[in-house]
Amino acid sequence: MSTVLKKSVRQEIGIKIREAREKKKLTQEEVAQKAKMKANYYAKIERGLIGTAPEKLYMIFKALGVEASDIFPN
């Protein structure tokens, strides 16, 4: 997978995570706390700056009350 494609997927996932968070009216800090991670790490995921392990994504999805299929691009 090319670097550009990886970045694009990370950004799209980040956008969907942010949209889910905003829909629930939660702050980045609240989601990070529920997902048991530092707020600045969570913020980088949401902005698409970094990828993360599946276990961390699972914790984010659980904190947001969403399914992976709600977030991952088609």
Mean pLDDT within 12-26:
96
Sign (positive or negative) of CA dihedral 10, 14, 15, 16: positive
Is CATH 1.10.645.10 correct for 3-71? no
Domain ranges of the chain: 3-71
Please say whether the beta carbons of 60 and 35 come within 8 A: yes
* CA dist., res. 39 & res. 32, Å (int): 5
More confident residue, 5 or 43: 43
Give residue-wise pLDDT tens across range 28-51.
Answer: 999 999 999 999 999 999 999 999
